Amino acid sequence: MVTSGIPEMIFGGTTEVKVMTVGNVAGRGFGSGLNLKGKLTIDPDYSGEIILIKGKIDINLMKGKKGIITEGQLKRDEAEKLKAQNITTLSGTVLFRELANNDIISVDIETGVIYL
């Protein structure tokens, strides 16, 4: 639990309380869609349920996938096509640790956090 307040150093001046999850956090981005849990694969391998894209996205290979994680921002047309296919997206992702093919990950879309 993290607390803060303004003005600082005044007793009883807490104006903000955050409950943070401490766990095996692998990264964070900006999400859209549903929470995810599944097997990760890293492009160019599109065989898993959740795909980590470091380069250009091949939308045609995303059919039947649960989600996509990108380090860059999605283009508007890409985001619309993925949303139409009910594919969860996490974009603008910063990874705190290296992820590997076949890692089982969970993604909390509300906070944008990736857990191992």
Residue spans per domain, the chain: 24-115
**What pLDDT, on a 0 to 100 scale, did the predictor assign at position 76?**
92
Residues 22-54: tens digit of each pLDDT: 668 999 999 999 999 999 999 888 999 999 998
pTM (2 d.p.)? 0.78
List, in order, residues 6 or more apart from 104 with CB less than 8 Å away.
Answer: 37, 38, 39, 40, 116
Question: Per-residue confidence at 21, pLDDT binned at 50, 70, 90?
Answer: low
Q: What number of other Cβ atoms are within 10 A of residue 114's Cβ?
A: 29
Best CA proximity match to 32, nearest among 82, 77, 71: 82
| Rounded average pLDDT over 13-27 | 79
Residues 83-114: tens digit of each pLDDT: 999 999 999 999 999 999 999 999 999 999 99
Q: Tell the CATH topology of 24-115.
A: Glucose Oxidase; domain 1 (3.50.30)
- Identify whether the C-beta of residue 10 lies closer than 8 Å to the C-beta of residue 101: no
